[in-house]
Amino acid sequence: MTERSAQIPSGAPARGPRRLIFETGAPESRCVEPPPLDVPELDLKVRLQGRAKIRHEMPMLPHVTEVEIARHYSHLASMNFGVDTGSYPLGSCTMKYNPRIGEDAARYEGFAGLHPYQPIETVQGALELMCRLAEALGEISGLPGVTLQPAAGAHGELTALMCFRAYHLASGIERRRVLVPDSAHGTNPATVAMCGFEAITLPSDADGGVDLAALDEALDDDVAAIMLTNPNTLGLFERNTLAINEAVHSVGALSYCDGANLNAIMGITRPGDTGFDALHINLHKTFGTPHGGGGPGAGPVCVTEALKPFLPGPIPVHLDDGSFGLAEPARSIGRVRSFFGNFGVLVRAYAYIRGLGGEGLREVSEQAVLSANYLKERLRDAYELPYDRTCMHEFVLSGVRQKREGGVRTLDIAKRLLDYGFHPPTIYFPLIVEEALMIEPTETESLEELDRFAKAMLAIAEEVSTDPALLKAAPFTTPVRRVDEVAAARKPDLRFRREG
């Protein structure tokens, strides 16, 4: 370490954060300036009198030239790791490659330049795209009613549960409880609470599936729904899906499928055919739209015919005269956001589906599952494999052995992976696996990359015995090293203030 730092001149720029954009440039610096005003200037003080005041203090915004902006964000970008940087086997997040055609298409003036309230005859292409995308998602899911409005997966969950609630109320019964397996994503119980339901946790059985006896005990006529992730967050297909959904329906409850893991089953099995009443789809996972550093995504919801009337409106429809229009479902829960959804994301997903076609999508799922099983096989001896079954598109390892052996935690393994040039898997989730490492390679990693990742994981397992201290101090090669999260939370610094 010392040796290397001796080679770096003292004036070299930091690899981590340097300056904030507010600390860049000079007060008189400008990037773009508006053209001269071609109408009479207004005396705003007079015009706004009595209703609004002119700001007496200007907001502190950056003063920078274009080159300073370009360099600032280039440096920020250099501190980020994206799918284009390298393998990103982040379980449950489906970090596949994002085809560039989608990026281009979303920027076509004929899409990006549309105003949401243009006359319907001027947006026929946009509505057609939305209709065709909805049809495709209906076919893939086996659930024919589709809303494209939700902006993200959690938003889709909320929309679906709102529809369930309205459905039950329409039949005159108020049901208060929603069953959520202990392996579920945190968004599931949070959504349940936002919908005014009570979340009841269902334990998993020894095989990683829903404990049927516990389910049986929990089911009664106060249960509104079950929220299942299938394949579940252990990466396992719920073998009892049909039986579970039958039991749920037998007490008049509805069954919701969290579609976060749809990438494993396209063209293999359809949630609608296995008894689910609703499914949300993360277009930013399964359908190749980028994650954007945390969004925007899109979380369309697909439902059965029976639930279709409750979907949020408006819904793009293909009219009898061949044109496209908008319709309000008969008993709609109402809007869940403004306008029609994250349209730019829908364009990307549509391009992806049309580019790959039905067969291509099935190949995606087959390869995603094969790659996950291949990696699992390569790593099973070095790490604990708590559920030894054929996995779907992801699998969960446990770092308990490493914890016992060298006192090395899963967090340390994840941080060390950064030094090997990989984004770490999801860690400490699902909660039911101690020291969990959830690995999802996706279909867009080459065999060479998969092998490289396996090799890195095996090398780290070696390091646990030879040099555990190294792992606990990792990473060493990243723009910054481990960050003090405790201090960040104890004394929150959430915004910059200019001194003096």
Partner 1 sequence: MRQIPVTCEQREAMLRALGLSATEELFADVPPAARIDRPLDLPTGLSEMELVGHLRGLTDANAPATELVSFAGAGCYDHYVPAIVDHVLRKPEFFTAYTPYQPEVSQGTLQATYEFQTMICELTGMDVANASMYDGATALAEAAQMACRITGRHALVCAPTVHPEWRRTLLTYAEAGTAEVSRSPATDVATGTMQVLGQEDESRKEDHPSLASVLSDERAAAVLVAQPNFFGNFEDLSLIAELTHEAGALLVVAVNPLLLGVLEPPSAYGADIVVGDGQPLGIPMSFGGPGLGFFACRKEHLRQMPGRLVGRSRDVDGNEAFVLTLSTREQHIRREKATSNICSNQALCSLAAGVYLAAVGSEGLSAIARACIAKAHYLRERLLETGRFGAPWETPFGYEFALIYDGDVVEMRSAMLERGFLAGVCAGEVEGGSFAGIGAEMLESLVLLAVTERRTRAEMDLFAEEVASL
For partner 1, the binding residues in 279-298 under the rule CB under 8 A are: 284, 288, 290-297
In terms of CB distance, is 49 or 465 closer to partner 1? 49
Is residue 88 within the footprint of partner 1 (CB under 8 A)? Answer: yes
The β-bridge partners of 177 are 198, 223
Q: Which is nearer to partner 1, 282 or 398 (CB)?
A: 282
In the chain, the amino acid numbered 36 is P
User: Which residue, 101 or 404, has its beta carbon nearer to partner 1?
Assistant: 101
Q: If binding is defined by CB under 8 A, does position 494 make contact with partner 1?
A: yes
Q: Which of 199, 385, 456, 470 binds partner 1 (CB under 8 A)?
A: 199
- The encoded tokens of residue 141 equal 């899911």
Q: Does 8 bind partner 1 (CB under 8 A)?
A: no
Query: Cβ of residue 273: shortest distance to partner 1, in angstroms?
Result: 6
Residue 167 engages partner 1 in binding (rule: CB under 8 A): no
Which pair of tokens denotes residue 445? 């990693």
Residue of the chain from 10, 11, 12, 51 that contacts partner 1 (CB under 8 A)? 51
Give the nearer residue to partner 1 in terms of CB position, either 377 or 405: 377
> What residues have CB less than 8 Å from 316, skipping those under 6 apart?
127, 130, 131, 134, 148, 324, 325, 326, 340
Looking at 250-258, 452-460, 462-470, 486-494, which segment touches partner 1 (CB under 8 A)?
486-494
Cα dist. 24→14, 70, 150, 481 in Å?
A: 15, 12, 38, 24
Whether residue 160 contacts residue 301, with contact meaning beta carbons closer than 8 Å, is answered with: yes
Q: Which of 183, 191, 204, 304 binds partner 1 (CB under 8 A)?
A: 191
Residue 70, both tokens: 């370009």
Q: Please tell me the distance from the alpha carbon of residue 351 to that of residue 425, in angstroms, as a whole number.
A: 28
- Using CB under 8 A, which of 55, 172, 174, 499 touches partner 1? 55
Draw the binding track, 323-352, toward partner 1 (x: CB under 8 A; -: no contact): ----------xxxxxxxxxxxxx-x---x-
CB 151 within 8 A of CB 194: no
**Considering beta carbons, is residue 48 or 330 the nearer one to partner 1?**
48
458: its two tokens: 């095996």
Q: 3-class SS at 490? A: helix
Distance between CA atoms of 409 and 58, rounded to whole angstroms? 49
**DSSP labels, 233-255:** TTS---TTHHHHHHHHHHTT-EE
- Binding segment for partner 1 (CB under 8 A), chosen from 94-102, 215-223, 395-403, 462-470, is 94-102
Question: What is the spatial distance between Cα 170 and Cα 158, in angstroms, rounded to a whole number?
Answer: 18
How many CB atoms are closer than 10 A to CB 64? 19
C-alpha 472 chain-centroid distance: 29
Residue numbers 366-425 binding partner 1 by CB under 8 A:
366-367, 369-371, 373-374, 377, 389-390, 392, 414-415, 418, 423-424
Closest approach, Cβ 281 to partner 1, in A, equals 13
Give 456 or 473: the residue with its C-beta nearer to partner 1. Answer: 473
Rounded to the nearest whole angstrom, what is the least distance from the CB of residue 466 to partner 1 in the complex?
22
Among residue numbers 103 through 162, which ones bind partner 1 (CB under 8 A)? 103-119, 122-126, 128-129, 136, 139-140, 142, 151-155, 157-158, 161-162
Beta bridge partners of 317: 325
Q: Is 49 in the site for partner 1 (CB under 8 A)?
A: yes
205 part of the interface to partner 1, by CB under 8 A: no
